[in-house]
Chain A
Amino acid sequence: MDLLTHLGIEGVRMIVGLIAVIALVSVNALFLIWMERKVSAHMQLRPGPMEVGWHGAIQTIADAVKLMGKELITPEEVDRPIYYLAPIVVFLPVLLTFLVIPFSQTMIIKDMNVGIVLILAFSTLTVLAILMAGWASNNKYSVFGAIRSVAQNIAYEIPLLVTVMSIILMVGSFKLTDIVTAQGRYWFILVQPLAFILYIICATAETNRTPFDLPEAESELVAGFHTEYSGMRFALFFLAEYTNMFIVSAVAAVLFLGGWRGPILPGVVWFLIKVYALIFLIMWFRWTFPRVRFDQLVTFAWKILIPLSFVNLLLTALALKIF
């Protein structure tokens, strides 16, 4: 029996997909870090990295090589097993969520019936990892970062789930390809503009991006939960953050912008255009809004976003019953 028949078409798809995803994750992170530096620079009327490669295009590769060469410092007083585990736990679920993301009609590793639930379930593990890192570092700045991260994620997870629920209600399926297929006539952003705004706000908070970057607020907490990490361990947190940005944008593209749909160009190109446009939007926020104060952050979630998301869900349900 030969290896291919042993694995079957599903197995081969899985292995090829996994390799492609790991390649995509690394290239995406390298690109996004360069993009972030360029976007921030141009918004502040300065050129950003220019020396290494065309307009600093391979600056990040140089940085990555430097990070890999760095010593992994383990402080004396850390809670060792958890300290070592945290960078792995932050990164694994991120990889798993790629299992169900539809890059085009056929470019999807496994089109599961529970697709969107899988993404939402595994992205909650990131908080646990941040908490582990913050706690295990045994540093007051890290613990503060972790505490803030937990409070923030509890608060913003609820409106995020409820908002996604209103789209699920319209489609009647958790399958991501079904959600895209349902947007054949119009994109859901046209009928659910409020849900889109709520989703983008919550996604920015869930990925700990400015104006909601309190877990790592560099001007008050050194580097927040990853203060005590160095070298590749620190790089894994960074990699996970940028990959998370890709995932929330991909989910937004699927839920609101019609996924791979678009004229002329192949589906995967449209999908990536939409994803990177959304990522640009999130980067734009960073250089437009100042960081919110912690009480403002929590109050905003509980008193404004959660009621609004429930109102949106209710209106969606009513509209579906009436029309």
Chain B
Amino acid sequence: MNFPGFLSPQGIATIAFFVVVAVTLVGALIAVAARNIFHNVLGLAMSLIGVAGLFLYLNSPFVALMEILIYVGAICIAICFAIMLSEPLYLPRPPRKFTKILGAMAGSGLVFIFLLLLTKKTKWVPAAERSTDWSVTTIGHYLLTNYSLIFEVVSLLLLVAMLGAIVIARGGRGSS
């Protein structure tokens, strides 16, 4: 029995890759474009699950699961929490300001171009097989030695999330 090319391991891997990329991009689009803030959060969750899929594709299940546990499980839920504390959703919202959209597009466009140039310029070498051992000890070692800076920077993100929650929720209770 012969199998068509897309059923070979490489074929399945390629299909999986494109599915994951599609999930990430569509999720990101929903997160930015939808007018209902609850849809935005769900789009973000979808996009983050896609990113977790990318990590899985890169053979890093630990990071993928941490992505789901922390970003989808904790951050998205915390965002929902903030939304429910903020102003009611049925009120009509003011239309988006054109300058704001332009500014956001310029900002994200700049980051995109920067990353594009960076990927063009970097000489890609296959990563050295560090270790296949994903025991708690190894991960702990990495987090407190090689990657301590990343470990610290990640906590900044939490601070930003908290500030964002305060900004969104501000004035939600005062008017009543």
Chain A positions within 8 Å of B, measured between CB atoms, are 1-3, 6, 79, 82, 112-114, 117-118, 120-122, 124-125, 127-128, 131-132, 135, 147, 150-151, 153-154, 157, 168-169, 172-174
Taking a contact as CB atoms under 8 Å apart, the answer to whether B66 and A121 are in contact is yes
Most buried by A among B2, B36, B42: B42
Query: Can you list, as one digit per residue, whether each of B56-90 has a CB less than 8 Å from chain A (1) or not (0)?
Result: 00000110011011001110111011001000000
Taking a contact as CB atoms under 8 Å apart, the answer to whether B45 and A150 are in contact is no
Query: B3, B65, B77: which contacts A118 (Cβ < 8 A)?
Result: B65
CA distance A92 to B66 in the complex (A): 18
Tell me the interface secondary structure of chain B in the complex: helix
Taking a contact as CB atoms under 8 Å apart, the answer to whether A125 and B68 are in contact is yes
Least CB separation from A151: chain B residue: B81
**Minimum C-beta distance from B91 to chain A (A):** 15
Taking a contact as CB atoms under 8 Å apart, the answer to whether B84 and A172 are in contact is no
Taking a contact as CB atoms under 8 Å apart, the answer to whether B136 and A6 are in contact is no
The reply on B114 being an interface residue by CB < 8 A is: no
Given contacts A114-B134, A135-B38, contact A150 B72 (CB under 8 A): no
Query: A1, A82, A121: which contacts B3 (Cβ < 8 A)?
Result: A1
**Minimum C-beta distance from B108 to chain A (A):** 26
Taking CB atoms, residues of chain A closer than 8 Å to B78 are 154
Taking a contact as CB atoms under 8 Å apart, the answer to whether B62 and A127 are in contact is no
Given contacts A114-B62, A173-B136, contact A124 B74 (CB under 8 A): yes
The 9 closest A-B pairs by CB, nearest first: A124-B73, A121-B69, A121-B68, A121-B65, A113-B134, A117-B65, A114-B62, A114-B61, A147-B84
**Minimum C-beta distance from A22 to chain B (A):** 22
Given contacts A113-B134, A117-B65, contact A150 B74 (CB under 8 A): no
CA distance A79 to B89 in the complex (A): 13
Of the A-B pairs whose beta carbons lie under 8 Å apart in the complex, a sample of 17, sorted by A's number, is: A1-B1, A1-B3, A2-B1, A3-B1, A6-B3, A82-B38, A113-B61, A117-B66, A121-B68, A124-B74, A125-B68, A127-B77, A128-B77, A131-B77, A135-B38, A154-B77, A174-B134
Taking CB atoms, residues of chain A closer than 8 Å to B135 are 113, 172-173
**Minimum C-beta distance from B61 to chain A (A):** 5
**Minimum C-beta distance from B42 to chain A (A):** 7
Given contacts A82-B42, A172-B135, A173-B135, contact A117 B62 (CB under 8 A): yes
Taking a contact as CB atoms under 8 Å apart, the answer to whether A124 and B72 are in contact is yes
Least CB separation from B61: chain A residue: A114
CA distance A147 to B88 in the complex (A): 13
**Minimum C-beta distance from B3 to chain A (A):** 6
Given contacts A2-B1, A151-B81, A154-B81, contact A124 B136 (CB under 8 A): no
Given contacts A82-B42, A168-B136, A172-B136, contact A124 B77 (CB under 8 A): yes
Number of A-B contacts (CB under 8 A): 77
Taking CB atoms, residues of chain B closer than 8 Å to A114 are 61-62, 65, 134
Taking a contact as CB atoms under 8 Å apart, the answer to whether A172 and B62 are in contact is no
Least CB separation from B60: chain A residue: A114
Taking CB atoms, residues of chain B closer than 8 Å to A6 are 1, 3, 7
CA distance A1 to B66 in the complex (A): 39
The reply on B175 being an interface residue by CB < 8 A is: no
CA distance A125 to B46 in the complex (A): 11
Taking a contact as CB atoms under 8 Å apart, the answer to whether B76 and A128 are in contact is yes
Taking CB atoms, residues of chain A closer than 8 Å to B77 are 124, 127-128, 131, 150, 153-154
Least CB separation from A173: chain B residue: B135
Taking CB atoms, residues of chain B closer than 8 Å to A151 are 81
Taking CB atoms, residues of chain B closer than 8 Å to A153 are 77
The reply on B145 being an interface residue by CB < 8 A is: no
Taking CB atoms, residues of chain A closer than 8 Å to B176 are none
In addition to A117-B65, A131-B77, 9 A-B residue pairs with Cβ atoms within 8 Å of each other are A1-B1, A2-B1, A113-B62, A114-B134, A117-B66, A118-B61, A124-B73, A154-B78, A173-B135
Given contacts A3-B1, A132-B42, contact A122 B137 (CB under 8 A): no
Taking CB atoms, residues of chain B closer than 8 Å to A174 are 134, 136
Least CB separation from B132: chain A residue: A113
CA distance A246 to B2 in the complex (A): 41
Taking CB atoms, residues of chain A closer than 8 Å to B36 are 79
**Minimum C-beta distance from A295 to chain B (A):** 16
Query: B2, B69, B134: which contacts A120 (Cβ < 8 A)?
Result: B69
Most buried by B among A2, A125, A147, A153: A125
Taking CB atoms, residues of chain A closer than 8 Å to B137 are 172
